[in-house]
C-alpha cells in the first residue's frame, strides 16, 4: 500500500515523479479530467496534496483553462486527460496555445507499454498525433525518463518562441520506479520568457538608422510585446520617436489605449478605416512580436508591400521576411530589442498626436451614436460601451470569435498595460472564452473576469458552467444572443448576394440554461436595462450569466463588411 512515508525512500513511482517535477517547476494548478489510464497519476496527486487539481467537464476546456491561466500569470499552464478520447479532446486547446505562443503542458496518460499493438481500448499513436501541434512532445517508454522529459518540456515551452508541449504517460510507466536523486529542475523554466535573447547589435544599428530617417514611423505590436513584458520599453521608444502604436488583437495591452499615440487595433477583425489609414500613412512600419498575418494586414494589403520600409522584431527567426520583404530583421526578445533601440536613438519625431486624436475622434463618434441607441435588438456597440463604463481598469475580458472579438477589439478600451483582454486568435475556434476565463480567474483571482461569447460559442462550451458553479467562481459570462452564426451570415450577405444558407439556428434562453446549472442569471432585451443588469451581475460574488438579445452581425452597420476577411 502507498503511504506518504514511502516518498522519503530512494525511489518513487513514475506518477509521483511527474507530480514532484511539476512542483519543482513551480506548477500550482492542473486542469483536467480523469480516466482509467490516469488512476496512478490521480492517486499521486491525491497523496502529495499539490498541485491543486481543477476537475473540468471536458479536456478541450481543460486546455483552454490552462491557456487562460498561462496568459494572465506568465507561468506555464498545465492540463491533463486520459488516453484515446482524452487525447483527441485535449488537442484543440493544445494547438491553439501552441500557435498563439502560449506555453501550456498537456499530459495524457496512455495504455501500458506492455499492452501496445493489441487492439487495447483507447490505444492511439499520441506521438504522431501531437507532433505537428506542439513545440515539443514525447511518449514515454520508461519511468526513468520522466525527470528528463519534464525538464526538456519546460525548457522548450518557455524559451525562444513560447509554445505547447505534450507528454504521454503510459499506465505502467506511471507505476515504474524513478530514482529520487533524478528529481531536479530549474524553477525559472516554469515562467516565460525564461531565457531572453538579445538582438545582433549590427541589425539594431541598421534599424536605428532607418528610424532616424523616418518621417512617419508606425509600430504594429502583436502578442509578443505582452508575452515579453516589453510595455515599458515600448512606451519609452515610441514617445521618443513620437510614433503611433497600432496593435493586433493579441497585442492589446501593449500600450494604454488612452495614450495620445495609441492608434487602436488594426486588421480585418477589429480595425476600422481610421486605424487602417494610420498604417497606410507610414513610411517605416515596425512590427514587434507580430507575425504580420492575414488578419492584422488585411491579407497583406495594409501596409501595402513596398509602401513602407519594414523593421521586423521577433523572437522567432522564421518570422521576419516571411510575409513582407524586410529591410531590417531584428531577432530577439521584444523587451531587449526595444531597449537596445532606445539606447542608441535620441531623435524626437514630429508630433503625430494631433492627427491621431482626430482619427480616434472620427472612429469613436460613429461608435458613440450606435452605442447610445435604444433600438432593439440591442446593438453590440451598446454592450461594449456599458462594459467599458462598468469594469475596473484591471479587469480581464476574454472574447470569443463572432461578434465579441471584432467589436471588443475595436472599441473596448484597455486602460493600463499587460494582459487585460484576449481572444483565441490562432484558430479562432468558437467556445473558447468560457473556459479560458475560468483559467484566467484562477490565475488572477483578485480582479474581475468577464467572458463574452456568441450563442454559437455558448453551444460549444456550456458544460463548463458546472465547473464555475462548483468552484464558486465570481466570473461573469455574457452571451451575445442572436440565434445565428452571425459572422458567417454577414459573409454570405457581403460576398454571396445575401444567399443565406444554413446559418440560422433556434432561439435558446441561455439565462434559463445557466439557472439550471446554478448560476445567477439574467436575460436582457431592453437596452435601457443593460447597464444595471450588467452591474448586478458583475458585482455578484458567484458566477453569473447575462443573456443579451443582440442585433445580428448581418444587420449591423457597414464596417462589418470590412471586417470579414
Ligand atoms: C469550432 C469552430 N467552428 C466554426 C467556426 C467558423 N465560425 C466563425 S465565426 C462563426 C459564427 C459565430 O457565431 P456566434 O458564436 O453565434 O456569434 P455571432 O457571429 O452570431 O455573433 C463561425 C461558425 C469557428 N470559428 N470555430
Q: What is the per-residue pLDDT across 28-73, written as a single tens digit (0 to 9) for each?
A: 999 999 999 999 999 999 999 999 999 999 999 999 999 999 999 9
* pTM given for the model: 0.96
Under DSSP, is residue 449 helix (H, G, I), strand (E, B) or coil?
strand
- Kindly state the percentage of the chain with pLDDT values over 70: 97
Neighbours of 428 (CB within 10 A): 17
pLDDT at 350: 78
429 lines ligand 1 (CB under 6 A): yes
Q: Which atom in ligand 1 lies closest to the alpha carbon of residue 430?
A: 26
455 lines ligand 1 (CB under 6 A): yes
DSSP 374-438: --SSBPHHHHHHHHHHHS-TT-EEEE-TTTHHHHHHHHPPP-SSSSSEEE-TTT--TT-HHHHHH
430 lines ligand 1 (CB under 6 A): yes
Q: Does the pLDDT at position 235 exceed 50?
A: yes
Calculate the CA dihedral of residues 52, 53, 54, 60 and round it to 10 degrees.
130
pLDDT at 557: 57
Calculate the CA dihedral of residues 265, 266, 271, 275 and round it to 10 degrees.
90
Cα–Cα–Cα angle for 553, 557, 559, nearest 5°? 95
CA-nearest residue for atom 11, ligand 1, is 485
Q: Which atom in ligand 1 lies closest to the alpha carbon of residue 455?
A: 16
Among 551, 542, 553, which Cα is nearest to 514's? 542
Residue 502's contacts (CB-CB under 8 Å, 6 or more residues apart) are none
Cell representation of residue 405: 472579438
> Cβ distance 542 to 474 under 8 Å?
yes
pLDDT at 561: 46
Helix or strand (DSSP H, E) at 253: none
Neighbours of 388 (CB within 10 A): 15
480 lines ligand 1 (CB under 6 A): yes
CA-nearest residue for atom 21, ligand 1, is 403
Q: Which atom in ligand 1 lies closest to the alpha carbon of residue 550?
A: 21
CA-nearest residue for atom 16, ligand 1, is 456
488 lines ligand 1 (CB under 6 A): yes
Split at pLDDT 50, 70, 90, the class of 556 is confident
Among 526, 345, 537, which Cα is nearest to 452's? 537
CA-nearest residue for atom 13, ligand 1, is 485
Distance 487 CA to ligand 1 centre (A): 6
Q: Does the pLDDT at position 334 exceed 80?
A: yes
> Cβ distance 79 to 102 under 8 Å?
no
Distance 431 CA to ligand 1 centre (A): 9
Mean pLDDT of 267-280: 93
Strands 104-110 and 165-170: parallel
Cα separation, 75 vs 73, whole angstroms: 5
Instruction: Read off the pLDDT of residues 354-403 as tens digits, 9 standing for 90 and up.
Output: 889 998 899 999 899 999 999 999 999 999 999 999 999 999 999 999 99
Amino acid at each position: 500500500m502507498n503511504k506518504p512515508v514511502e516518498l522519503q525512500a530512494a525511489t518513487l513511482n513514475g506518477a509521483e515523479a511527474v507530480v514532484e517535477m511539476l512542483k519543482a517547476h513551480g506548477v500550482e494548478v492542473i486542469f483536467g479530467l480523469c480516466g482509467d489510464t490516469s488512476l496512478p497519476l490521480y492517486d499521486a496527486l491525491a497523496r502529495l496534496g499539490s498541485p491543486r487539481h481543477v476537475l473540468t467537464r471536458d479536456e478541450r476546456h481543460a486546455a483552454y483553462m490552462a491557456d487562460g491561466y498561462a496568459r494572465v500569470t506568465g507561468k506555464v499552464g498545465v492540463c491533463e486527460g486520459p488516453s484515446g478520447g482524452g487525447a483527441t479532446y485535449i488537442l484543440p486547446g493544445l494547438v491553439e496555445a501552441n500557435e498563439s505562443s502560449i506555453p501550456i503542458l498537456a499530459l495524457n496518460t496512455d495504455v501500458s507499454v506492455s499492452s501496445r499493438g493489441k487492439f487495447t481500448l483507447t490505444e492511439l499513436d499520441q506521438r504522431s498525433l501531437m507532433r505537428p501541434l506542439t513545440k515539443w512532445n514525447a511518449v514515454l517508454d520508461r519511468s526513468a525518463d520522466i525527470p528528463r522529459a519534464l525538464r526538456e518540456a519546460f525548457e522548450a515551452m518557455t524559451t525562444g518562441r513560447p509554445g505547447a508541449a505534450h507528454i504521454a504517460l503510459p499506465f505502467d510507466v506511471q507505476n515504474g520506479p524513478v530514482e529520487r536523486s533524478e528529481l531536479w529542475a530549474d524553477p525559472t523554466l516554469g515562467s516565460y520568457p525564461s531565457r531572453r535573447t538579445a538582438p545582433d547589435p549590427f541589425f539594431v544599428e541598421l534599424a536605428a538608422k532607418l528610424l532616424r530617417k523616418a518621417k512617419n514611423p508606425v509600430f504594429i505590436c502583436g502578442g509578443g510585446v505582452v508575452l515579453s513584458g516589453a510595455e515599458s520599453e515600448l512606451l519609452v521608444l515610441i514617445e521618443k520617436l513620437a510614433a503611433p502604436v497600432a496593435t493586433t488583437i493579441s497585442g492589446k495591452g501593449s500600450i494604454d489605449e488612452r495614450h495620445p499615440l495609441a492608434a487602436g487595433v488594426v486588421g480585418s477583425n477589429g480595425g476600422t478605416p481610421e486605424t487602417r489609414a494610420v498604417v497606410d500613412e507610414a513610411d517605416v512600419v515596425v512590427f514587434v512580436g507580430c507575425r504580420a498575418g492575414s488578419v492584422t494586414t488585411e491579407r497583406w494589403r495594409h501596409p501595402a508591400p513596398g509602401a513602407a520600409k519594414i523593421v521586423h522584431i521577433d523572437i522567432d527567426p522564421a518570422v521576419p521576411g516571411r510575409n513582407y520583404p524586410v529591410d531590417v530583421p531584428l531577432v530577439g526578445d521584444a523587451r531587449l530589442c526595444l531597449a537596445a533601440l532606445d539606447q542608441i536613438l535620441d531623435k524626437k519625431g514630429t508630433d503625430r498626436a494631433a492627427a491621431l486624436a482626430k482619427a480616434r475622434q472620427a472612429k469613436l463618434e460613429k461608435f458613440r451614436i450606435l452605442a447610445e441607441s435604444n433600438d432593439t435588438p440591442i446593438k453590440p456597440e451598446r454592450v461594449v460601451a456599458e462594459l467599458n463604463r462598468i469594469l475596473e481598469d484591471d479587469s480581464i475580458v476574454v472574447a470569443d470569435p463572432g461578434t465579441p472579438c471584432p467589436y471588443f477589439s475595436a472599441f473596448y478600451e484597455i486602460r493600463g498595460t499587460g494582459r487585460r483582454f484576449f481572444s483565441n486568435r490562432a484558430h479562432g475556434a468558437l467556445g473558447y472564452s468560457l473556459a479560458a476565463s475560468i483559467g484566467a480567474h484562477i490565475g488572477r483571482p483578485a480582479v474581475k473576469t468577464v467572458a463574452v461569447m456568441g450563442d454559437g460559442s455558448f453551444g460549444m462550451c456550456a458544460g463548463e458552467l458546472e465547473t464555475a458553479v462548483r468552484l464558486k467562481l465570481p466570473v461573469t459570462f455574457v452571451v451575445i444572443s442572436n440565434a445565428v452564426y452571425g459572422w458567417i451570415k454577414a459573409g454570405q450577405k457581403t460576398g454571396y448576394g445575401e444567399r443565406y444558407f444554413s446559418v440560422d439556428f433556434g432561439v435558446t434562453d441561455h439565462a434559463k440554461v445557466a439557472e439550471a446549472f446554478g448560476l445567477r442569471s439574467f436575460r436582457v432585451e431592453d437596452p435601457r436595462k443593460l447597464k444595471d443588469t450588467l452591474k448586478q451581475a458583475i458585482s455578484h460574488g458567484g458566477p453569473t450569466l447575462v443573456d443579451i438579445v443582440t442585433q445580428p452581425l448581418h444587420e449591423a452597420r457597414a464596417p462589418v463588411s470590412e471586417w470579414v476577411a
